């Protein structure tokens, strides 16, 4: 499997086959060519006569170098960016061209829609030489909807890439040499797994709610059957059904969408401008083991994870893949326990998921969380699950060290910060406190790698690196790194 052995940056330095109007086309090797759903030239001709979609015309600020608007290129994909886009090098200069919905190794035709200072962005037109890992996307909106990036890839390849991307972040940003990243863990539920969905609609027009769904991709992928002449210029793609969401959520979508439309129209008709909502709104769908699907952000819901029940507000943070979650929690608890420490600190603890799940393995536990609402839930969750050795505090993560009297050499810390990673004040306090072990859970391997560099510079060694596929069909990765303090203590 070639791609795994080629880090993203190394691959960038390689050579790729490419052709454009500037370079004589190379003959494509005889291989099954995927059918091009729309002839864009024909669409353009029609649009010429009847002013159609603005995507067919260069935007006013378009820079026509090195490529003209919608100039067609044939490129070999070398690698993927962390955002899941294919990277190719074009022409003699090796100009970088980014193409979404492709697989490394594929030869594809694409059309340029944006030139930047040192790379161009293109939309996929056809796949001339498909990868053996190319599969049929499950969703008809794939290529238009910005929610998924990998539906065209076999799940095993998605997981290999996620592994590769964690490795790349840790090497490039974290400064690690050959990090031992374990295979990405995932379950068989690669569709129908998402237990939270938040479709959005933009400002209604005359009380009419238009598309309700997710943000569109920057430029639709023509290959997936998109007719540019009919592309609605709205920034939101209408989603009647999302194959990533649970069945319960998909059953609730049609009535909730209709209800939102009728409610806004009625508010407009009655002159209640406030209830129309000038900036649009976001709907919530949350399915849990105890309540089924709810659509009220403020409803209290409960999810069973392992042997425990966690209550939280439907609109607040709670991991939304109930199939992978129990495995990830078991893994995090096992890594925390391994250090043999007596006490546990769970920073960025939310409703107490890790702290409470690990509580039977420690004498005393403390969690800290910025949302007072989540702290209330964590405290109630302790009582519901008959746990009496956990204390939850409301505040920023760095305040935890002043509020517990745990002996550092007998304490392990779990951190699960938001996407931006740990803040500097917290890291400073953490290094001063010096726990024996740190288990770092992250939904952004790039900010995690940045923090890992600092953690290792302060005497910790990364002893275990495990990515989890919490978000199949998308580029998103959850990664857990366990750090051990190997320095001698006075």
- Contact residues: ligand SAM, CB under 6 A: 317-319, 348-351, 353-354, 368-371, 374, 396-397, 416-418, 423
Shortest Cβ contact with ligand SAM: which residue?
350
Tell which residue, 381, 380, 375, has the closest CA to residue 393.
Answer: 375
Q: How far is the CB of 414 from ligand SAM (least distance, A)?
A: 8
For residues 250-276, b (16+ Cβ closer than 10 Å) or e, as one string? bbbbeebbeebbeebbebbeeeeeeeb
Residue bearing tokens 């499997």: 1
| Catalytic site residue from 355, 377, 422, 443 | 443
Around 252, how many Cα atoms within 13 Å sit in the side-chain half-sphere? 20
Three-state secondary structure call for residue 313:
strand
Does 338 count as an annotated binding residue?
no
Tell me whether residue 36 or residue 393 sits nearer to ligand SAM (CB atom): 393
The answer to whether 443 is a known catalytic residue is yes
Shortest Å, Cβ 244 to ligand SAM? 19
Annotated ligand binding at 35? The verdict is: no
> Of the two residues 131 and 319, which places its CB atom closer to ligand SAM in the complex?
319
CB atoms within 10 A of CB 467: 25
Neighbour count for residue 490 (Cβ, 10 Å): 2
Task: Kindly report the number of other CB atoms within 10 A of residue 425's CB atom.
Answer: 12
By beta-carbon proximity to ligand SAM, the closer residue of 348 and 471 is: 348
Tell whether residue 69 is among the known ligand binding residues: no
Q: Report which of 308, 290, 340 is spatially closest to residue 300, judged by C-alpha positions.
A: 290
Compute the least distance from the CB of residue 314 to ligand SAM, in Å: 14
Q: What residue ranges in 360-477 does DSSP mark as E strands?
A: 364-369, 390-394, 411-415, 437-442, 460-468
Name which of 237 and 301 has its Cβ closer to ligand SAM. 301
Q: Are strands 411-415 and 437-442 parallel, antiparallel or unpaired?
A: parallel
346 marked ligand binding residue: no
Distance of closest approach, residue 13 Cβ to ligand SAM, in angstroms: 35
CB closer to ligand SAM, 150 vs 426: 426
C-beta of residue 150 within 8 angstroms of C-beta of residue 127 = no
Question: Catalytic positions, please?
Answer: 443
Pick out the residues of the known binding site for S-adenosyl-L-methionine. 319, 348, 369, 416
């Amino acid at each position: 499997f070639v791609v795994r052995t080629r880090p993203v940056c190394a691959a960038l330095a390689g050579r790729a086959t490419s052709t454009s109007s500037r370079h004589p086309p190379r003959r494509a090797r005889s291989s099954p060519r995927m059918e091009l759903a729309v002839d864009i030239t024909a669409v353009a001709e029609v649009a010429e006569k009847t002013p159609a979609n603005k995507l067919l015309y260069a935007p006013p600020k378009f820079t026509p170098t090195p490529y003209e608007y919608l100039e067609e290129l044939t490129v070999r994909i070398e690698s993927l960016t962390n955002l899941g886009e294919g990277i190719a090098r074009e022409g003699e200069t090796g100009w970088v061209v980014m193409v979404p919905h492709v697989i490394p190794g594929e030869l594809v035709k694409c059309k340029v829609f944006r030139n930047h200072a040192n790379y161009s962005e293109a939309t996929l037109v056809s796949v001339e030489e498909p990868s053996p890992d190319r599969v049929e996307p499950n969703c008809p909106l794939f290529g238009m909807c910005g929610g998924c990036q990998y539906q065209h890839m076999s799940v095993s390849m998605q997981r290999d890439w996620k592994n590769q991307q964690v490795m790349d972040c840790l090497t490039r940003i974290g400064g690690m040499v050959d990090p031992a990243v374990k295979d990405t863990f995932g379950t068989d539920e690669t569709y129908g797994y998402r237990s939270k969905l938040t479709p959005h609609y933009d400002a209604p027009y005359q009380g009419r709610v238009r598309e309700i769904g997710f943000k569109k991709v920057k430029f639709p992928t023509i290959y997936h059957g998109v007719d540019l002449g009919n592309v609605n210029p709205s920034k939101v793609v209408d989603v009647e059904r999302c194959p990533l969401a649970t069945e319960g959520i998909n059953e609730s979508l049609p009535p909730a969408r209709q209800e939102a439309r009728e409610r806004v129209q009625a508010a407009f008709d009655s002159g209640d401008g406030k209830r129309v909502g000038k900036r649009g709104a976001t709907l919530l769908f949350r399915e849990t083991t105890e309540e089924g699907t709810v659509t009220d952000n403020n409803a209290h819901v409960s999810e069973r994870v392992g042997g425990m029940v966690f209550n939280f507000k439907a609109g607040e943070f709670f991991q939304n893949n109930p199939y992978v979650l129990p495995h990830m929690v078991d893994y995090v608890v096992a890594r925390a326990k391994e250090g043999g420490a007596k006490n546990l600190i769970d920073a960025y603890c939310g409703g107490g998921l890790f702290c409470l799940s690990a509580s039977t393995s420690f004498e005393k536990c403390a969690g800290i969380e910025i949302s007072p609402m989540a702290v209330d839930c964590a405290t109630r969750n302790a009582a519901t699950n008959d746990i009496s050795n956990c204390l939850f505090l409301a505040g920023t993560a760095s305040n935890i060290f002043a509020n517990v009297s745990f002996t550092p050499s007998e304490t392990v810390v779990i951190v699960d910060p938001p996407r931006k990673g740990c803040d500097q004040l917290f890291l400073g306090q953490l290094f001063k406190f010096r726990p024996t072990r740190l288990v770092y859970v992250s939904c952004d391997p790039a900010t995690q790698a940045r923090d890992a560099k600092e953690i290792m510079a302060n005497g910790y060694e990364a002893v275990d690196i495990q990515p989890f596929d919490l978000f199949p069909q998308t580029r998103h990765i959850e990664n857990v790194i366990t750090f051990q303090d190997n320095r001698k203590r006075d």
